[in-house]
A and B are shown apart, each in its own frame.
Chain A
Amino acid sequence: MRVTEATRPVAPASAPRVPAHDKLGRLVARSLGLDEPALREGLRPATLDDLSDVLALRREHLLPGHEWDDDAYLRWRYRLGREGAGFGELWCLRAHGRVLATIGVEDLPIELDGQPLTGAQVMDLLVRPEAQESGLGIWLNQAMLARHPFTLAVGANSNSAGIVRRLFEPLAPRLTFTHPLDLGPFVRRRWPTLAATPLAMRAANAGLALRRLALRWRRPRGFMVEHTTRLDPTLAAPVPRGAAGVHLRHHGAYLQRRLLDNPRRPLGLRVARRGDAVAGLIAWSVEADDLGRPELHLIDWRHDGDDALLVLLHEALREAAAQGCTCVRLLLQDEASQRVAARAGFLPSSDDEGRPCGVQSRDAELAARLAHAPWALTDLHDDADGF
């Protein structure tokens, strides 16, 4: 037998040859032993009546050992037939008398070079194992696209990353940046002998602390940063002044629910004010690394300029040091934010291919504009909600 070599894609597909939605529907239906109308009609927004079946499917196939209250999570995240609840729809495909798949969409209001648009982010795609490889996941993605001017997807696992890479117009990948506060875990992984020398570790960590102090000394002045658990519902989330590209159009009422009421985990929130005006905000969570040591992960941030972002990053570093965290991590997509993070002492991860994300639209011109514009997505847009 010949040796089987690793066979990687020759290049990101520039022109995906996915069949048109109607033809795809015929193929998927046939592959699942359904007729096409049954497939189309089986897809509808989930209501509370569907919740127990959806929870059972997720318990069985998606979340072995998950630690959050999934019932509370789905009720928080999706409308489920309730006016004004959730952030979007959970679509449910029923066939052969049971839930075969689900896909979620969250409303995504943006401004593209000053033009307001509302699309949707697709997430929470789950296909029952016996229906996998039928093309159902791709059909569901296309069914969502048919209902929205554009859709955004962020790949979380290898399968969804493959769909994002070949079905969507690629956006700049989100890259991991880290600010180490304690070199211990890093050194223990790579040079265990060196880690056994406490004096060297203490000296290195003292050096890190001095570097952090020196960087903090040069932070912009004129801001007041405060902890908060309540945002003004009418607050328009700050966006960088004069910057082209895509900006998310969110208000305090959304951010309040999205950042502070998430039943998966509590987030810490800080607001930076310049005088009476909100110049930026940042949300984080503290999680354990593989050695059980705390790390501070930045989940979301909004700011009206580089200075506000820099102040907020320094505040996160101060909080992380106070909580004994080993590092602060975040994923950055846009070059402007990456430059600011570097000024605060964050380092890019080596060999980081980044998390893929992409957009698609039935309007080819809009798809191209969206793909070419700079985006600044945060962990809030992870398929896994940054979890």
Chain B
Amino acid sequence: MDASTRPTITQTEALALLAECFNVPADSLHADVERESIEDWDSMGALMLIAELDERFSLELTAEVSREMTRIGHVLDFLRAHGVLREGD
């Protein structure tokens, strides 16, 4: 799957995906939520995110990039940079 055939999602859908990965209510997440405030955004949560991005978008998130993500906005930026996040919805 390349960037042109990759499915896209809205920010609301992206937050719902992250909520599943980190085992939190979707309405508690927004771009400014810090990683350290999310108990389940640990090594297990990071793996869930890696697996979800691979499964849904064939998108590779490396451990190094994952470790640099310190708030929800960084994940949204990553999705945006890879053409997954649909703007304006």
Residues of A within 8 A of B (CB): 1-2, 4-11, 13, 17-19, 23-24, 27, 30-32, 127, 130-135, 137-138, 158-159, 162-163, 166-167
Contacts and interface: CB of A to CB of B under 8 A. Distances in A.
Contacts of B37: 4-7
User: What are the 3 closest A-B residue pairs judged by CB atoms, nearest first?
Assistant: A134-B63, A135-B47, A133-B46
A10 B54 contact: no
A162 B44 CA distance: 7
Interface stretch (B4-12, B23-31, B77-85): B23-31
Interface string B43-61: 1111110110010000011
Range class of the B interface residue count: 20 to 34
B29 to A, nearest CB: 7
A159 B25 CA distance: 21
21 contacts: A6-B37, A7-B24, A7-B33, A7-B38, A10-B25, A17-B20, A17-B48, A18-B44, A27-B50, A127-B43, A131-B63, A132-B63, A133-B43, A133-B47, A133-B66, A133-B67, A134-B62, A134-B63, A135-B46, A159-B43, A162-B45
A135 B50 contact: yes
Given A27-B51, A31-B50, A133-B66, A138 B44 contact: yes
Given A5-B28, A8-B24, A27-B50, A132 B44 contact: no
- Of the listed residues B23, B40, B46, B61, the one surrounded by the most CB atoms of chain A closer than 10 A to its CB is B23
Given A9-B24, A27-B54, A137 B63 contact: no
Interface of B: 20, 22-25, 28-30, 32-34, 37-40, 42-48, 50-51, 54, 60-64, 66-67
A4 B54 contact: no
B32 A2 contact: yes
Nearest to B47: A135
B43 A9 contact: no
Contacts of A30: 60
A17 B45 CA distance: 11
A18 B32 CA distance: 27
Contact of B43 (A10, A23, A137): A137
B38 A163 contact: no
Given A19-B51, A130-B64, 18 more contacts: A2-B32, A4-B32, A5-B28, A7-B29, A8-B24, A9-B23, A10-B23, A17-B20, A18-B44, A30-B60, A133-B46, A133-B47, A134-B62, A134-B66, A135-B46, A162-B44, A163-B44, A166-B44
- Of the listed residues A4, A132, A163, the one surrounded by the most CB atoms of chain B closer than 10 A to its CB is A4
A31 B46 CA distance: 12
A127 B63 CA distance: 12
A19 B50 CA distance: 10
B23 A13 contact: yes
A4 B50 contact: no
Contact of A31 (B20, B32, B44, B62): B62
Nearest to A139: B47
A247 B48 CA distance: 35
Given A135-B47, A162-B43, A31 B63 contact: yes
A6 B23 CA distance: 13
A295 B29 CA distance: 44
B39 A8 contact: yes
Given A7-B37, A132-B67, A133-B67, A1 B47 contact: no
